[in-house]
Amino acid sequence: MTGRVYLVGAGPGDPGLLTLRAAQVLRVADVLLYDALASDAVVALAPEECEKVFVGKRGGDHAAAQREIEALMIAKARAGCRVVRLKGGDPFIFGRGGEEAEALQAAGVPFEVVPGVSSALAAPAYAGIPITHRDHAASFTVLTGHEDPGKPASTLDWVKLADSHRTLVILMAVANLREIARQLVGNGLDPQTPVAIIQDGTRPSQRCVRATLATIADEAERAKIESPAVVVVGGVARLRERLRWFDAGGLFAKRIAITRAGEQSQAFARALLERGAEPIFAPAIAIEPPDDPLLAERALDQLHSYAWLIFTSQNGVDAFFERLATRGLDARAIGSAKVAAIGDRTAARLRDRGVRADAVPEAFVGEEVARVVIERSRPGDRVLVFRAQEARDVLPRMLEEAGRVVSVAPAYRTVVPSDSNFAGKIARADAITFTSASTVRGFVALLGGASEAERAADGKCIACIGPITARAAADVGLRVDIVAGTYTTAGLLEALEAYFASPA
């Protein structure tokens, strides 16, 4: 029984640059053999039950020799497994993918090559450096700065490479940067030729140093540039200051802790990555079924009797429709009832389910939902509130005081997850985001109490999605720096950008 090996390029670091085909094969992998340059977010796409084996190099230490990697691929494929060999960048650009493909072919193991975005192209682009430009370079050459040490002599033609009309993109060049500059100048390239060296290209830790061939080695040493880094030699390097975009925003290189439930944090994390920030997944809550699911079931039994349905979160929408599905029902079961959503995201989740919200308040809090529904309903109308088990009672209380007949259905409950590394994650963060009072409570519980939470948050930016969350944070002793003007993650993101962009 023979499986298949996929030689997959993971791209240069930003998980958004992973190709669709790469994501497809990762999601069905039985075995994953991954290198050090494959980002955690990309590795996480493999199934939970997938066997994950690190075979990369960190700090000069090889986790596995090349022959061992090839033997492992072949053995796992012969056992019938779908094997993904995940490599940084592109597997056929200085990734030894060609050697691995030869080994697989010789062993009679089927394989597929899934190209990736090479750091040779992506790192300069993220640094604002186009490697071709009509005014500077009509061609480019990609070369290694670290040839096989077993060769008797370099096979690079330095005379041809010392060409002022082309861009040189040099990978794995940090250790030999001084000798590379010497060779290029010695073979005719002007010592004042612009050079840029980009460390950790496309990642929130990206750094870029600009200099000339005469000074780049000293400048890189002074800045303590380390691998992985890409060197760009040529006139295009001058364009960085005009065209830089990725590392120019207020959130660049900021480490932002996300405390909301893990499955809900992906879109927010992606938005942070797009702005050059590093998201730190530190969920302080997890979503579980309510203690008494029969309350929601009884409410659904009487669904036809309600004049209004109110949803106070995306989780509530999901729980409602999951329960409908178990009965073989869909959105049509709502019938003539009006629907209210606490905010834009909850309304969008309803639209995804085929329901258009009749009411969405301008301010995304329970009090405003109550006011909108009271304005548009009549005394005696029956109202179903589908919400978290531990939600505030202000919404149903206001409705009842206005003469509406209210049923509250606990759709789910939030619990505190177990995370032995939670304090370490928070210690790394520049900012901590809270999207609900329950995330604040979970934060305190995971750190062992209010005083410990206050110490852990000391010196960090505390950002809350709205005033209710901010009040919960202040009640446990946290100093709140940001309260979003619009009570959504998009509003929270805007507030973070404004905070970090403003002068200290």
- Residue 226 burial (C-beta neighbours within 10 Å; 0-12, 13-18, 19+): exposed
Q: Determine the pLDDT at residue 72.
A: 96
* Cα separation, 321 vs 7, whole angstroms: 40
Least Cα distance to 237 among 273, 190, 275, 278 occurs for: 190
* Arithmetic mean of pLDDT, 265-293: 89
Is pLDDT of 325 > 90?
Answer: yes
* Arithmetic mean of pLDDT, 134-147: 91
Confidence of residue 147 (pLDDT cuts 50, 70, 90): confident
Q: Determine the pLDDT at residue 470.
A: 95
Instruction: Give the predicted TM-score (pTM) of the model.
Output: 0.77
Element (H, E) at 341: strand 338-341
Among 332-346, 359-373, 448-462, name the most confident range.
448-462
Q: Determine the pLDDT at residue 446.
A: 96
Return all residues near 289 (Cβ < 8 A) that are at least 6 apart: 412, 413
Q: Which residue has the higher pLDDT, 390 or 13?
A: 13
Element (H, E) at 445: helix 437-447
Q: Return the active site residues.
A: 35, 57, 172
Element (H, E) at 231: strand 229-233
- Residue 502 burial (C-beta neighbours within 10 Å; 0-12, 13-18, 19+): exposed
Is pLDDT of 306 > 60?
Answer: yes
Backbone φ, ψ for residue 482 (5° rounding): -135, 135
Q: Determine the pLDDT at residue 213.
A: 97
Domains (range + CATH), the chain: 4-116 (3.40.1010.10), 121-243 (3.30.950.10), 255-285+417-501 (3.40.50.10090), 289-413 (3.40.50.10090)
Is pLDDT of 108 > 90?
Answer: yes
What are the pLDDT digits (tens) for 338-357?
999 988 889 999 999 999 99
* Arithmetic mean of pLDDT, 238-246: 95
What are the pLDDT digits (tens) for 3-19?
999 999 999 989 889 99
* Arithmetic mean of pLDDT, 128-156: 86
Collapse the DSSP code of 443 into the 3-class scheme (helix H, G, I; strand E, B; otherwise coil) and give the result.
Answer: helix
Confidence of residue 21 (pLDDT cuts 50, 70, 90): very high
Q: Determine the pLDDT at residue 370.
A: 92
* Arithmetic mean of pLDDT, 57-76: 83
Among 297-306, 328-337, 453-462, 486-495, name the most confident range.
453-462
Is pLDDT of 60 > 80?
Answer: no
Confidence of residue 503 (pLDDT cuts 50, 70, 90): low
Is pLDDT of 270 > 90?
Answer: no
- What torsion, rounded to 10 degrees, do the Cα atoms 92, 94, 98, 103 define? -130
Element (H, E) at 121: helix 119-126
Q: Determine the pLDDT at residue 41.
A: 83
Both tokens assigned to 208: 């870029």
Is pLDDT of 118 > 70?
Answer: yes
Query: Average pLDDT, whole number, for the chain?
Result: 92
* Peptide bond connecting 15 to the previous residue in cis, omega within 30 degrees of 0: no
Q: Determine the pLDDT at residue 163.
A: 93
- Residue 310 burial (C-beta neighbours within 10 Å; 0-12, 13-18, 19+): buried
* CA–CA distances in Å: residue 209 to residues 131, 183, 219, 277: 16, 20, 7, 20
Q: Report the percent of the chain where pLDDT is more than 90.
A: 75
Q: Determine the pLDDT at residue 345.
A: 84
Q: Determine the pLDDT at residue 267.
A: 84
Return all residues near 250 (Cβ < 8 A) that are at least 6 apart: 497, 498, 499, 500, 501, 502
Is pLDDT of 63 > 90?
Answer: no
Is pLDDT of 59 > 60?
Answer: no
Is pLDDT of 98 > 90?
Answer: yes
Q: Determine the pLDDT at residue 287.
A: 87
* Cα separation, 299 vs 301, whole angstroms: 5
Is pLDDT of 504 > 80?
Answer: no
Confidence of residue 427 (pLDDT cuts 50, 70, 90): very high
Min mean pLDDT across 56-60, 88-92, 218-222, 230-234 is at 56-60
Both tokens assigned to 65: 């020799």
Is pLDDT of 222 > 90?
Answer: yes
